[in-house]
Amino acid sequence: MPGDAGAVPPRIQLTNLHKEFALGGGEVRRVVDDISFSVRPGEFVSVIGPSGCGKSTMFNIIAGLETPTSGEVAIDGTNAIGERHHTAYMPQKDLLFPWRTIVQNAALGLEVQGMVKKKARATARELFAQFGLKGFEDSYPFELSGGMRQRAALLRTVVQGREILLLDEPFGALDSLTRIEMQNWLQEVWAEHSWTAVLITHDIREAVYLSDRVIVLSARPASVRLNVEVALPRPRELAMTTSAEFAHIEEMLIEVLHEESRKAFEAQKALG
Ligand SMILES: Nc1ncnc2c1ncn2[C@@H]1O[C@H](COP(=O)(O)OP(=O)(O)O)[C@@H](O)[C@H]1O
Ligand SMILES: [Mg+2]
């Protein structure tokens, strides 16, 4: 029904998602175990979970790079299994090519899609100011700080103009001050572009600070352990991180995450 907000399908809907990898010799490794959750249009959702639990695998499935063993992936209410054109995906180690300038790196995705070089680079250039990279178009990656390189990698990801942003631990390698600056900056550009964003992070504070909702995954095989709303007002400000409400959500997440991390560690130990 037009005007009926309830009729808008989720931007992303995962339903009973499973993923198993064949290890050879008839052995299988179950990595994703019955994951269901949805992400509303314009929502910012963070996913946390023990290392090795299956987060990146789940992202690869949402991005259409892997197919699930069973279950459904729907984008805007339509089956999207194996479809790569819905999402802008920044993989965990998204490195810039050292022999290409920043604008050449940034335009790469568009060129791969078949856009002519000149137009691709002009399109990328338009985003440089907003990404705090104005004046560095013709610099090489080694000339930029860590934070700037991450923004350049993100620029390369978003320049393709997709509405869904998948970010796999984008700030993992940055020092804590740069990280905070990047989080504030990401919050701004996210709001401006009305992206639907899903962020994998191991930083609980980052997850709470940026998100409308935080999902905690279990030890491998990954299932949803917790799905928590973060009802703090926007824009988020650093002062909120010391509020009782922030601390309460953080505590809840830490408890479950530590429990799952312990399980993952014990399972690892049992393997020798
Ligand atoms: N192609 C593959 N074949 C076999 N096992 C895989 C493959 N891809 C990932 N895995 C396994 O799936 C598990 C989860 O990996 P991943 O999704 O990268 O975890 P996370 O991102 O949560 O750290 C790991 O144990 C990894 O070894
Ligand atoms: Mg990963």
Mean pLDDT per 10-residue section of the chain, whose length is 272 residues: 68 98 92 98 97 96 97 98 94 90 94 92 94 95 93 91 94 88 93 94 96 97 97 95 96 96 90 78
| Closest ligand (CA of 66) | 1
Q: Which atom of ligand 1 is nearest to the CA of 58?
A: 17
Q: How many CB atoms lie within 10 A of CB 162?
A: 17
Q: How far is the CA of 6 from the centre of ligand 2 (A)?
A: 34
249, 215 contact by CB (below 8 A): no
Q: How far apart are CA 219 and CA 199, in angstroms?
A: 18
Which pLDDT score, from 0 to 100, does residue 112 have? 86
Q: How far apart are CA 101 and CA 142, in angstroms?
A: 10
Ligand 1 pocket at CB < 6 A? 21, 29, 31, 49, 51-57, 220
Please provide the DSSP assignment of 12-27 as one string. Answer: EEEEEEEEEEEEETTE
Which pLDDT score, from 0 to 100, does residue 4 have? 58
Q: Whose CA is nearest to atom 8 of ligand 1?
A: 57
| Closest ligand (CA of 54) | 1
Which pLDDT score, from 0 to 100, does residue 7 have? 79
Q: How far is the CA of 49 from the centre of ligand 2 (A)?
A: 10
Q: Whose CA is nearest to atom 11 of ligand 1?
A: 31
pTM as predicted = 0.93
Q: How far is CA 184 from the centre of its chain?
A: 16
> Which residue reads 């198993």 in tokens?
20
Q: Hey, which of 18, 21, 225 would you mutate to test ligand 1's pocket, going by the most ligand atoms within 8 Å of its Cβ?
A: 21
Which pLDDT score, from 0 to 100, does residue 41 have? 97
Residue 193 φ then ψ, to 5° = -90, -5
Q: Hey, which of 17, 28, 31 would you mutate to test ligand 1's pocket, going by the most ligand atoms within 8 Å of its Cβ?
A: 31
